[in-house]
Each structure stands twice: as C-alpha cells, then as structure tokens.
C-alpha cells in the first residue's frame, strides 16, 4: 500500500461496542498475567486498599472486547465484518509478517468490576518505513472507552499493528 492509500484509511471505524466489566474476567486476566494481588479478585481486599470495587489490571483494556459483550447492549451502528482484515488483507496478500507493535494505555480513572463501558476504535495513523530492504507498514488504532452513564473517558488504548513485507 502506498502512503497515499494509507492516509485514506485514517479515521476508519474499527470497533464500536459496549462491555460489562465482570469479576471473573478481571480475576482470570490477573491470573493470566501472573499478578497475584488480591485486589483483582476479592472485594474485601479492594475495599481494604481504599478502592470502591475490584479494579482491572492495568493492561486489561487490551482484552475488554473479549468479555462482557452482551448482544442487547451493542450499538446498532457498530462496524460489521472484519475492519482490520480489510486493512491488512491487501498487505498480507503479498506475503510477509504481522507484528504486534507498541501498545499504550492512558487511564482517566481506574476500570472497576461493574463498569459498563462504551468503546469506539478508529485508525488514527498509517505510514510506511523501510527497514533492511523490507517495507514496514504501521497501522495505529485508538479505542476510547467511556463510562456508559456519564460519557466520561475511562481509558484510551492505542495499538500499533505492523506488516513487514
């Protein structure tokens, strides 16, 4: 993909969903990332730590779309199909590798069990770089998760997908 074509995907909607942050998912995620802090599974430990509820571990926003998406909560205008596949498909048709690049989370407040969060993801940047005779294409997505009741941002996740052709 030429850089001119890449600029045309900036702003493309990648996701739109509503999730309920659930205790089981938070506890299982903490176990998976080998964080044994009891605040991630026990409301008494969270309360003793001065927290209003069980918090989610810092990188939990990466997997929020995997748990707690109930059909009746989903917006009617969510993108359909596989938006990232539409972007990466033409690149992969030429071969190469897909790499997970940089990942970043900006917390506006902690994520807690019981939160209902509405997320919208878009492509915010796309560009290429040459590296050791290969073209590397970078696609940067950003998902802003907002409190469904107040509309206030809770966490913003930025994710860089790299195609090395």
Confirm whether 43 is domain-assigned: no
Name residues whose C-beta falls within 8 Å of residue 6's C-beta, 6 or more positions apart in sequence: 126, 127, 128, 137, 139
Residue 131's domain comprises 3-21+67-164
Query: Tens-of-pLDDT digits for all 165 residues of the chain?
Result: 555 578 889 999 999 999 999 999 999 999 999 999 999 999 999 999 999 999 999 999 999 888 889 999 999 999 988 898 888 888 888 889 999 999 999 999 999 999 999 999 999 999 999 988 888 999 999 999 999 999 999 999 999 999 998
With vertex at residue 17, the alpha carbon angle to CA 15 and CA 23, rounded to the nearest 5 degrees, is 125
Q: List C-alpha distances in Å: 14 to 26, 96, 123.
A: 24, 22, 7
Q: What is the 3-state secondary structure (H, E, C) of the chain?
A: CCHHHHHCCCCCEEEEEEEECCHHHHHHHHHHCCCCCHHHCCHHHHHHCCCCCCECCCCHHHHHHHCCCCHHHCCCCCCCCCHHHHHHHHHHCCCCEEEEEEEEEEECCCCECCCEEEEEEEEEEEEEEEECCEEEEEEEEEEEEEECCCCCEEEEEEEEEEEEC
Predicted confidence at residue 3, as pLDDT, reads: 58
Q: List C-alpha distances in Å: 28 to 111, 138, 151.
A: 15, 31, 27
Confirm whether 110 is domain-assigned: yes
User: Whose structure tokens read 């071969």?
Assistant: 95
* Token code pair at residue 110: 């902690």
Confirm whether 60 is domain-assigned: no
Confirm whether 99 is domain-assigned: yes
Residues 9/83, Cβ–Cβ less than 8 Å = no
Confirm whether 46 is domain-assigned: no
Q: pTM for the complete prediction?
A: 0.89
Predicted confidence at residue 1, as pLDDT, reads: 55
CATH number of residue 151's parent domain: 3.10.129.10
Confirm whether 15 is domain-assigned: yes
Domain count, the chain: 1
Predicted confidence at residue 165, as pLDDT, reads: 84
Confirm whether 54 is domain-assigned: no
């Amino acid at each position: 993909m030429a850089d001119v074509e890449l600029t045309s995907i900036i702003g493309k909607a990648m996701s739109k969903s509503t999730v309920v942050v659930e205790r089981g998912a938070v506890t299982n995620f903490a176990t998976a990332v080998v964080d044994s802090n009891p605040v991630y599974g026990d409301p008494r430990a969270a309360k003793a730590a001065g927290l209003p509820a069980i918090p989610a571990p810092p990188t939990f926003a990466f997997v929020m779309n995997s748990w707690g998406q109930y059909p009746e909560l989903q917006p009617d205008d969510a993108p359909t199909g596989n938006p990232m596949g539409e972007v990466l498909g033409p690149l992969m048709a030429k071969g190469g590798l897909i790499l997970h690049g940089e990942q970043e989370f900006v917390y506006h407040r902690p994520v807690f069990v019981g939160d209902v969060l509405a997320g919208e993801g878009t492509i915010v940047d796309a560009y290429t770089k040459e590296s050791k005779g290969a073209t590397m294409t970078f696609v940067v997505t950003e998902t802003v998760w907002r409190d469904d009741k107040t509309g206030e941002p809770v966490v913003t996740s930025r994710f860089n997908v790299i195609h090395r052709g």
